[in-house]
C-alpha cells in the first residue's frame, strides 16, 4: 500500500444531500454560525416575533419582562434609555 491509497482512507467524502443542490451547497458562508442563521432564519424570526408579541400583549417590557408603561412596549427604565438612544441617533 502506498501513501496515496493510505491517505484516501482518511479523506472526507461529500454527503449526498450536499451534491443535490440544497441551500447549504449553493452558497459559501463565512462560518458555521452565519450558515446556521441563513438556513434557519424563517424559524428564528418567527420565534423572536412570537416572544415579542406575547410579552407586549401581556403588558410586559419586551427587554426585561418588567411591567411596561401603558401603550408602550418598554418599562420605565428602558423607555428612558430608548429616548436617550433616539436623541443621540437623531443628533440632538
* 28-70 per-position pLDDT tens digit: 999 999 999 999 999 999 988 998 888 998 999 999 989 998 8
Highest mean pLDDT, choosing among 7-11, 69-73, 86-90: 86-90
**How many Å is the Cα radius of gyration of the chain?**
24
pLDDT of residue 71: 86
In the predicted model, is pLDDT for residue 20 greater than 50?
no
pTM for this structure?
0.52
**Would you say 54 and 61 are in contact if contact means Cβ atoms under 8 Å apart?**
no
In the predicted model, is pLDDT for residue 84 greater than 50?
yes
Grid cell at residue 1: 500500500
**Would you say 55 and 65 are in contact if contact means Cβ atoms under 8 Å apart?**
yes
Which string of b and e fits 1-18 if b means at least 16 CB within 10 Å? eeeeeeeeeeeeeeeeee
Amino acid at each position: 500500500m502506498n501513501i496515496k491509497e493510505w491517505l484516501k482512507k482518511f479523506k472526507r467524502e461529500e454527503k449526498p444531500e450536499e451534491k443535490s443542490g440544497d441551500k447549504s451547497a449553493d452558497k459559501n458562508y463565512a462560518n458555521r454560525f452565519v450558515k446556521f442563521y441563513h438556513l434557519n432564519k424563517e424559524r428564528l424570526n418567527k420565534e423572536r416575533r412570537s416572544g415579542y408579541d406575547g410579552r407586549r400583549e401581556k403588558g410586559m417590557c419586551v427587554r426585561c419582562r418588567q411591567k411596561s408603561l401603558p401603550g408602550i412596549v418598554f418599562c420605565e427604565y428602558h423607555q428612558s434609555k430608548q429616548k436617550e438612544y433616539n436623541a443621540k441617533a437623531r443628533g440632538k
